[in-house]
Structure formats: C-alpha cells, structure tokens
C-alpha cells in the first residue's frame, strides 16, 4: 500500500472538498441555515498565487499550473490540450485554466504570473488583440476577471516560471 505524505493528504482533502457533491450532500446542504453555509464557504483559501505556462512542441501542446494558497497549499496541474494550438493560445489556455480553478474553489483574490509578454500585454490593455482567436481568449479572461475581488497579472522571466513550464512540457509527453 503506497504511503501518502502529509502534503498529499492535504491536497486530497482540498480536492475532495471542491468536488461535485452527491445528491445526499445537496439535500443536506439545503437543510442547513444560512449561517452554517457561510461558515463552510469561509473554510477554503480565498487568495491564490498562480503560475501559468503554455507549451507547444513537436509532441503537441500543453499547459502547466502551480497554484499556491496563503496557507501554502500547493496544487500542480499538467494538462495536454486536445487541439492544435499556437504558443499564444496555449498561454491563454493556461491562464484561463488557472483562473477557472481558483474561481471554482471559491477564491476571491488571485495573483497570476506568466512569462508571456503578449498575453500579459493584451490583458492589461498595453497590446491590441488583432487576431480573432486572441480577441476571443481576451474576452474570456476579461469575463472571468470580473468574478474576483482582486485580480493581478504579472510578467515574470521564463527562469522564474520553470515549475509551470516543466508541468506544461510534461503534458506534451502524454498520449
């Protein structure tokens, strides 16, 4: 039987906490008063740092995410994209996936780090999204951005994003 580390158990508990509830859990939740529901929703981390990266190579395209809560809970995600993407599309996919994960976990504040100057520049309004596909991605980011009380996207050097980059590269090696 494999041993589960403390970090692994914390991660397993966090993932279990944010999975879809069973019909029984939904009924039980409906029976709770508002005070109890408010207390439950405050248990999850509300502020996250998210490192995102997208990779395209000969083997395919993938995204890598490293989510870190204030409580130092770390979630790593490596996802292979099931469509032919450009590097900029993969970067946007990583950004959107990171934002979506935080939002689904109840996060209200997010600070995202990306090594893509183009994506960061478009989101911050410094660069214009001329391509129709980039405009679509930008629109999705702007829509998700509204769901956060605090949103910040920062550019970091590629060397500072090695963890997310390695996860994205790992995703391209899967079948």
Query: Is-contact 55 114, C-beta < 8 A?
Result: no
DSSP 103: H
Predicted local distance difference test score (pLDDT) of residue 45: 65
**Beta pairing, strands 60-69 & 74-80:** antiparallel
Distance, in Å, from the CA atom of 32 to the CA atom of 27, rounded to the nearest integer, reads 9
User: Could you give the CA distance from residue 116 to residue 164 in angstroms, rounded to a whole number?
Assistant: 12
The residues of the chain that CATH labels 3.30.420.10 are 47-173
Q: Looking at residue 10, what is its pLDDT?
A: 43
- pLDDT(109) > 50: yes
pLDDT band at 142 (very low <50, low <70, confident <90, very high): very high
What value does the mean pLDDT take over residues 116-121? 95
pLDDT at 175: 66
Quote the Cα angle for 150-73-40, to 5°: 70
Query: Looking at residues 83-112, what average pLDDT do you find?
Result: 95
Q: What is the pLDDT of residue 46?
A: 85
- Res. 42: pLDDT tops 50: no
Please give the span between the terminal C-alpha atoms of the chain, in angstroms, as a whole number: 27
| Lowest mean pLDDT, pick from 15-29, 100-114, 132-146 | 15-29
Q: Average pLDDT, whole number, for the chain?
A: 82
CA 54, CA 171: separation in Å to the nearest integer? 10
pLDDT for residue 138 is more than 70:
yes
Residue 165 in this model has a pLDDT that exceeds 50: yes
- Whether residue 131 has pLDDT greater than 60: yes
Percent of the chain at pLDDT > 90 equals 70
Q: Which residue has the higher pLDDT, 46 or 43?
A: 46
CATH of domain 47-173: 3.30.420.10
| 56-95: pLDDT as tens digits | 999 999 999 999 999 999 999 999 999 989 999 999 999 9
pLDDT at 99 over 80: yes
Whether pLDDT at 1 is above 60: no
């Amino acid at each position: 039987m494999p041993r589960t580390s403390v970090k692994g158990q914390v991660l397993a508990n966090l993932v279990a906490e944010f999975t879809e509830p069973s019909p029984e859990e939904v009924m039980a939740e409906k029976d709770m008063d508002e005070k109890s529901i408010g207390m439950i929703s405050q248990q999850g981390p509300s502020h996250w740092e998210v490192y995102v990266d997208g990779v395209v190579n000969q083997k395919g395209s993938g995204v890598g995410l490293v989510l870190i809560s204030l409580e130092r809970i770390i979630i790593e995600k490596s996802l292979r994209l099931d469509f032919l993407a450009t590097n900029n599309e993969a970067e946007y996919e990583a950004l959107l996936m990171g934002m979506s994960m935080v939002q689904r976990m109840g996060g209200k504040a997010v600070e995202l780090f990306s090594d893509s100057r183009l994506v960061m520049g478009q989101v911050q309004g410094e660069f214009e999204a001329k391509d129709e596909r980039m405009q679509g991605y930008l629109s999705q980011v702007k829509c998700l951005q509204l769901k956060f009380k605090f949103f910040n996207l920062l550019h970091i050097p590629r060397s500072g994003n090695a963890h997310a980059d390695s996860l994205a590269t790992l995703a391209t090696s899967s079948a």
